[in-house]
Amino acid sequence: MIYSTAQKLFILITVVFMSACGADNSKSEQWRALDINNTLLLTLPHGKVVIELAPQFAPKHVEQFSALIKKSFYHGTKFYRVIDGFVAQAGPKDGSDKDKSVSVLAIEGQFSIAKNWSFTPVQNNDLFAEVTGFKEGFALASDNNDSAWLTHCPGALAMARSNKADSASSHFYFVIGQAPRYLDKIMTIFGRVVYGMEHIQAIKRTSVIEGEYAVDSREHTPIVSLTLMADVPLNERIIIEVENTESTAFAERLIKRRARENAFYYKKPPPVLDVCQVPIKSRLVK
């Protein structure tokens, strides 16, 4: 195995330490209610999807995206680039007045962290980062304790861009396949799906294999509406609670998931965790 005993011990000690000092409120609560002013309802023709935004990690992107949503900007736009195993991307028609009306954003792909910045660690030295973990429900990675970034796990919501770093505006994508972690840091992730991911997975693919006809744009999946949950009529809201990744219960779940003690594991897998293969639970309140 690739982990030294010292490294494994470090992970264990870190998690146990976190569990042991759980005096404050955030650590005692297993579930966290989503703020309806920070949650979106995406209605597709075939189902409803709930998204949590990440203003704490990508403030300018969330600010602009929310402002567009307030103006019903995305209603009727389409998922025009949907590649199985990769991303489902939507936005206004390229080069249209609507497209050009939106300001270009400076990238927020990673952020500096203070010395006392804390998160729930998951794994040291995966292929792409020195350490991975969770903070406030979001999967992230960090190097050298200087900076951190959200990771491209399935369900991540990020802004598309052209070749320039600071060129994102309104076109966005959901990750629908094996985590394309090579996009970490160089794209801005600003939200994640917390409910209805199966409907994102069922969006009509637009990219075709060689030898097959291209999918006609009239068949692309449209966005019926994309609205701030606070602006959805009360009786149509979907109220979700998510696992509190700062809780003692979650830290304990990570330990169990790593250990794989269930009898099903007649032979133990390596005691490692892929941060994108740790599902964060949601539950429906209403």
Chain residues in the site for a second copy (CB under 8 A): 2, 84-86, 123, 125-128, 130, 153-155, 163-165, 176-186, 195, 197-198, 201-202, 204-205, 209-212, 260, 263-267, 269-270, 272, 274, 276-277, 279, 281-285
283: left (phi over 0), alpha (psi -120 to 50) or beta: beta
At its nearest, how many Å lie between a second copy and the CB of residue 83?
9
At its nearest, how many Å lie between a second copy and the CB of residue 267?
5
At its nearest, how many Å lie between a second copy and the CB of residue 44?
12
At its nearest, how many Å lie between a second copy and the CB of residue 165?
5
C-alpha torsion sign, points 21, 25, 28, 33: negative
Residue 276 φ then ψ, to 5°: -85, 0
- For a second copy, which is the closer residue by CB, 69 or 122? 122
Residue the block writes with tokens 């840091």: 185
At its nearest, how many Å lie between a second copy and the CB of residue 9?
18
- For a second copy, which is the closer residue by CB, 14 or 277? 277
* Contact yes or no for 58/190 (Cβ under 8 A): yes
The DSSP call for residue 74 is T
- For a second copy, which is the closer residue by CB, 69 or 169? 169
3-state secondary structure of 158: strand
Closest C-alpha among 80, 90, 146, 157 to residue 117: 146
Neighbour-count burial of 247, counting CB atoms closer than 10 A to its CB (0-12 exposed, 13-18 middle, 19+ buried):
buried
Give 220-284 as a DSSP string. SPB-SEEEEGGGS-GGG---EEEE-TTSHHHHHHHHHHHH--STT-SSPPPS---GGGSPPPEEE
- For a second copy, which is the closer residue by CB, 12 or 67? 12
- For a second copy, which is the closer residue by CB, 76 or 270? 270
- For a second copy, which is the closer residue by CB, 16 or 186? 186
At its nearest, how many Å lie between a second copy and the CB of residue 127?
5
